[in-house]
Amino acid sequence: MITNHQAKYYAHELTRQAAGDDIDRISTSLFDASVDLNPHQIEAALFALRSPLSKGVVLADEVGLGKTIEAGLVLCQYWAERKRHILVISPASLRRQWAAELIEKFNLPTEILDARAVRQRKKDGIYNPFRQNKVIILSYHYASRMEDELRAIPWNLVVFDEAHKLRNAHQKSNRMGKALRRALDGRQKLLLTATPIQNSLMELYGLSTLIDEHIFGDDKAFRKQYLHNGTNLEELRERLKGFIKRTLRRDVVEYVRYTERRTFTQPFTPGDDEQRLYDGISAFMLREESYALPKRQRHLTTLILRKLLASSTCAVTETLKRIRERLIRLRDQQVVSDDFLGHLVAEEELEEEYLEILEASAESGPIDQTEIDKDRINEEIAELEQFINWADAIKVDAKSRQLLTALETGFQEMEKMGAPRKAIIFTESRRTQEYLRTYLDEQGYRGKLVTFNGTNTDPESNGIFQQWLQEERNKDKITGSCPVDRRTALIDYFREQAEIMIATEAAAEGVNLQFCSMVINYDLPWNPQRVEQRIGRCHRYGQKHDVVVVNFVNTRNEADKRVLELLSEKFNLFNGVFGASDDVLGSIESGIDFEKRILNIYQSCRSPQEIQQAFEQLQKELEEDIAARMDSTHQLLLEHFDEDIHDLLKIQLDQAKQRLDKVGRLFWLLTRHV
């Protein structure tokens, strides 16, 4: 046993604040965190904490190296130092991931705020929900609208996830970037991005203005010094060293083992009745004038219908019924909701970017209620009813039959590798998810399935959740946040009992499934970033086996075949150790814009030759976007060539382990004494 005097010394040693460049600075944070120890993450966290004079840094590790963990260590250290005004700003789709990771891995209390949550907190008596003893998490769009509220709080640290979304923050036209710069001026910032530079050095300048607009002066000075005079790149590199830290995957292969991706294509051939339905709805969507497709939302409505039509018969059937009901109300001059499409996106759990487009559309006023041609609207209603009857007659479609083949093929491949019999099936439709659950239940998988979506409130998921609460009631795993705990319960059930998880896009974000090594793209997104997110749930740090990726393709649809070819060959999503590169994915500025380009091909091309030519043109444009001219500049500025990097990281790892051994020993002795 130790004496009171020793206990006092140990307590001091455990709580003292060390120098910024010392491993001691984050040793207690590492001790508290439930994460594996990786030297590049320790180095990145120390880099972010190192300079008290700097207003912030950019952590720009390649994809898959754990930038969230690096940021979590920094946040944990700020929290330990009683600097607890902490803000995380991320894409809306990643907010839950941040909340889950900070709670599970770092035991940090979090609060996701949006307009509805803020209203509720104020009703509950919390006057200023932004000023709580929690890590506040906001989406980019909501944060930019809360400029005055954010400016009023003395934030100790602001984290920007996917910070490349603000790489044009210096431009006058970038309203979001300028609003966030004003709101958070002078605050300490931590920017996370795998693609800090894509097509122009001005993107680096834009990121620098978020941290400190005086780092390089104004944009004219930056252009003159570095864009118009290439000989100054070495000087620029030296200046960047102080606030950008980038680690490459090749630097850490000694510490992080990566497995391969193995791809299988599962073809299916729709029957004549299915093809008749597809052709009929496709022709319906091509009309110039239609009450079913309002002009202002026509493009988005068509895009969603195309996705649901490709997903499953049941998904498009329910949507057609909704459209028919809307037309009947329109014909009978009853109140018609402007938010029909918004409800559809929410019900099917389609991409949140669709909702943002709809919100922007709603700001321009209600949809025009023009004079109704009853004969024409009755014709459309009759056509829709015919489509619905055709769809109702299709009980089991060809695609779902081939799912059984895909599962068995994948499971056989996994058995050869010694991988556990686990598969995740991704669909873009909530209704398709429900249909597949019922279908697989009937095909011998009853009791081996679990579903995962945005709410997880169906009876089966509720039962799993309640059972999990009982089993974990005396443990620390329950956070008290119902959505987070539900997600954890379902993932635990998948890991320990179920063979198959059927998931909507909700599982493509913020869910870590390293124990599963088969990803089935039942519906293949047109957005390559989405595809990479899905595969990245399983193919990530900690995966012990090669990951089998299965993609469905319609043999009677030339455009579907070309989309798969584009994603495979141009984006290289499905093969190799790392899949799509940061540079390639970063070239897609907006996934929705990319989807619209593909939709235009579906809508405008008829013959296989036209479709092939259109996709070849799209590939050509992409090659220009993914410009090789930036490669050398990118490497010169952001990628170090230190031959001793592996040795340096090893020293860092050894020091951290020694320090953690000491922290653990002191903590245990002090605990026993108390």
The pLDDT of residue 363 is above 50 = no
Determine contact, residues 528/432, Cβ cutoff 8 Å.
no
Cα–Cα distance measured from residue 295 to residue 668, given in angstroms and rounded to the nearest whole number: 68
Q: Quote the pLDDT of residue 576.
A: 58
pLDDT at 628: 47
Report the 10 Å Cβ neighbour count for 662.
15
DSSP H or E stretch at residue 433: helix 430-440
Give the residues across from 137 on adjacent strands: 88, 112
Banded pLDDT at 584 (limits 50, 70, 90): low
Instruction: Flag whether pLDDT at 114 surpasses 50.
Output: yes
pLDDT of residue 652 exceeding 70: no
Neighbours of 511 (CB within 10 A): 22
Q: 40 or 453: which carries more pLDDT confidence? A: 453
Instruction: Tell me the per-residue pLDDT of 458-514, one tens digit each, with 9 for 90 and over.
Output: 999 999 999 999 998 877 677 666 777 888 899 999 999 999 999 998 777 667 898
Average pLDDT, the chain: 81
Q: By the 8 A CB rule, do 466 and 436 touch?
A: no
List the strands of the sheet with 449-452, edge to edge. 261-268, 547-554, 518-521, 423-426, 500-503, 449-452
139-190 confidence digits (pLDDT tens): 898 999 999 999 999 999 999 998 888 888 888 778 888 899 999 998 999 9
Contact 391, 320 (CB under 8 A): yes
The DSSP output letter for 526 is S
What was the pLDDT predicted at 658?
66
Whether the Cβ atoms of residue 547 and residue 539 lie closer than 8 Å to each other? yes
Q: In this structure, what token pair is assigned to residue 5?
A: 């005097």
Res. 367 pLDDT band, cuts 50 70 90: very low
pLDDT confidence band for 629 (50 / 70 / 90)? very low
Amino acid identity, position 497 = Q
pLDDT in tens, 230-264: 557 777 878 888 888 888 777 777 777 778 888 88
Q: Tokens 């009171």 sit at which residue?
A: 4
Is 90 exceeded by the pLDDT of residue 422?
Answer: yes
Query: How would you classify the pairing of strands 261-268 and 189-192?
Result: unpaired
- Percent of the chain at pLDDT exceeding 70: 79
Closest CA to 55 of 245, 221, 215: 215
Residues in Cβ contact with 413 at an 8 Å cutoff, skipping those fewer than 6 apart: 262, 264, 548
- Beta partners for 261? 547, 576
Contact 31, 663 (CB under 8 A): yes
Question: How many Cα atoms occupy the beta-carbon half-sphere of 319 within 13 Å?
Answer: 31
pLDDT above 90 for 433: yes
Which of the listed ranges 347-351, 404-408, 645-649 does the model predict with the highest average pLDDT? 404-408
**Rounded to an integer, what distance in angstroms lies between the CA atom of residue 144 and that of residue 603?**
35
Q: Which of 66-80, 297-311, 442-456, 582-596 has the highest mean pLDDT?
A: 442-456
The answer, yes or no, to whether residue 622 has pLDDT greater than 80, is no
Which residues are CB-contacts of 624 (< 8 A; sequence separation ≥ 6)?
none
How many other C-beta atoms are found inside a 10 Å radius of the C-beta of residue 281? 22
Lowest mean pLDDT across 435-439, 541-545, 571-575: 571-575
What count of other Cβ atoms lies within 10 Å of the Cβ of residue 596?
Answer: 15
d(CA 535, CA 518): 9
pTM: 0.74
Contacts of 411 (CB under 8 A, 6+ apart): 421, 423, 518
547 bridge partner residues? 261
Which pLDDT belongs to residue 25? 57
Q: Within its chain, how far is the Cα of 449 from the centroid?
A: 24
